[in-house]
Chain A
Amino acid sequence: MSEWWTYRLTSFLLFSPRTYYRLLELYNLAIWPAQLAGAVIGLAIIALLIWKRGHRDRIIAGLLSACWLWIAWAFHYQRYAQINWAAPWFAAAFAFEALLLVVVGVLASRLVLQPASGGKLWIATSLVAISVLGYPLLAPLTGRPWTTAETFGVAADPTVIASIAALALVRGRIRWLLLTVPLLWCAVAAATLWAMYAPEALVVVAAVLLALWPAVQGTRRGAPDAVR
């Protein structure tokens, strides 16, 4: 790309905000009632974070993996690719993350959520809860119809924010491998929303910074798990 410094974020926006939200609306109408299944999965993850049960971490990894795979196929590849030629790459990245969660979390059992302190666990659980129960409210709060609401499990942004919140608790450096795709997506999503002058951009950035706090704290303090 020559003279790259002359490009602005809006230079890369291929569609109008109206088209983007209409895409969300048509997607929501087409997949209904899958949103309810997504909400149930989200509530299950919250419950597992609060009340630790056997195989908790493997179940969380499996549930998150299912959500990422669904979004890769049903949203990015089937829908978003209609208006964004980069979306097949997003689909591949989401499918890779789903695979990673299965391999690391379900098969190898390397995804171990720390027996986190109260504060870290509280932040992570709260952010997952906000992603599941609060993020859909952004639609009416920003003047959009309910039909354009983005819900956990089927829409990318709330699912990725909740994933980052949960994966930030993972013990060891493997957490950064698991967080790579989610963080890259958040950068893409925030840039897209910013180019659309959508206030959700700030929500995504703020949520990610908050969600990362437990992970960054773990690394900075040189906790034993951080060098594993």
Chain B
Amino acid sequence: MLGALALTPCRSKIGAMGPEEPAMWSRRRALRTLAAAGACAALRPATALAQPRAILTRPIPSTGEALPVVGLGSWVTFNVGDDPIARDACTDVMRNFIETGGRMIDSSPMYGSSQEVIGYGLRKAVLTERIFSADKVWISSGAQGREQIERSRQKWQVGRFDLVQVHNLLNWQEHLPTLFAMKGSGQVRYVGITTSEGRRLRDMEQLMRSQAVDFVQVTYNPLDREVEERILPLARDRGIAVIVNRPFREGALLRALARQSLPPWAADIDCTSWAQFVLKFIVSHPAVTCAIPATTSVAHVRENMNAAYGRLPDEALRQRMIAAVERT
């Protein structure tokens, strides 16, 4: 049982038909489209003509909107200041992330220059309309929360955030009413709360029961499974989307796993690397909506995104995966 997992064809924005388009095309338009398609087919390599791969998505419970199960974090990796070379490298990461079907990019005012770097990349690669923007409010003063969110929005250079979360539950008492008011007036689409590395899970559980949040963000991976006990089941019961941060323990988990070879049976779930192995474990939990690994490498982001395609493990295989990782 893999929850409400869906397969969505990964295709270019140009080729996608939006809901606002008429169901019936005119003959002239249809002929024009067929001619254009023929021209494209002549120019593209044979592989591009193959059936588009289907990216795995999960619905956001509060609306049903589908999100690809692998997103992109920005902690440490996108905090590169005004270094033009590093900024362009981050832009390449974002471009490849979107090209491989990704949508959610997550950041915070706590992450140094990451927000500006994301804004730079979105503008340069013209990606703004294709992402699901997730940011946070992180300030002690409740009165300054709205102002901080506006500054963050300007750095991202987006019209509005899709999701704003209370970072590490900091002053949630004042920030959550602000965020719900902003959601009510259409200034943000979703509201969430975050923790990391297993901290304040009791507080988070209470808030999940008492507040109408759309998202929670927690740490989860084959070694850090504390949230399996109460948070993830509660998220399913309450219809709350779950974002998973620090899937690789900031790289330490993958460095440890690199000392042993990938089990041959990993091929049964289309894994060719430990990163995919860990990500598939995470997103195969039925309560998880999206994992957000962070990277500065184009090769790594493409490798991570491959975990959003193909087969996922069932519960028996998930237990085997835990055992394999715990052996390190």
Contact = CB atoms under 8 A, between A and B. Distances in A.
A224 B211 CA distance: 66
A82 B113 contact: yes
Contact of A2 (B79, B82, B199): B199
Interface in A174-219: none
B200 A3 contact: yes
A82 B81 contact: yes
A13 B77 CA distance: 11
Contact of A23 (B83, B110, B200): B83
A6 interface: yes
Interface in A3-38: 3, 6, 10-11, 13-16, 18-19, 22-23, 26
B178 interface: no
Interface string A156-177: 0000000000000000000000
Interface centre among A6, A11, A15, A79 (most CB of B within 10 A): A15
Interface in B281-319: 296
Given A16-B76, A16-B77, A10 B250 contact: yes
A85 B109 CA distance: 10
Interface in A117-132: none
B80 interface: yes
B296 A16 contact: yes
B219 to A, nearest CB: 11
B197 interface: yes
A14 B113 CA distance: 10
Contacts, number: 50
Contact of B83 (A3, A11, A19): A19
A3 B199 contact: yes
Given A6-B198, A26-B83, A82 B76 contact: no
Given A22-B86, A82-B112, A85-B112, A14 B200 contact: no
A114 interface: no
Contacts of A19: 79-81, 83, 86
Contact of B80 (A11, A13, A83): A83
A84 interface: yes
B265 interface: no
Given A82-B113, A83-B113, A14 B79 contact: yes
A6 B250 CA distance: 16
Interface in B71-98: 76-77, 79-83, 85-86
A15 B76 contact: yes
Nearest to B252: A10
B81 A23 contact: yes
A10 B255 CA distance: 16
A82 B82 contact: yes
Contacts of B296: 16, 18
Contacts of B82: 82
Contacts of B81: 19, 23, 26, 79, 82-83
A15 B112 contact: yes
A11 B76 CA distance: 10
B307 to A, nearest CB: 23
Contacts of A14: 76, 79, 110-112
Interface of B: 76-77, 79-83, 85-86, 110-113, 197-200, 250, 296
Interface of A: 2-3, 6, 10-11, 13-16, 18-19, 22-23, 26, 79, 82-85
Given A22-B80, A84-B112, 9 more contacts: A2-B200, A6-B197, A14-B76, A16-B76, A18-B296, A22-B86, A26-B81, A82-B82, A82-B112
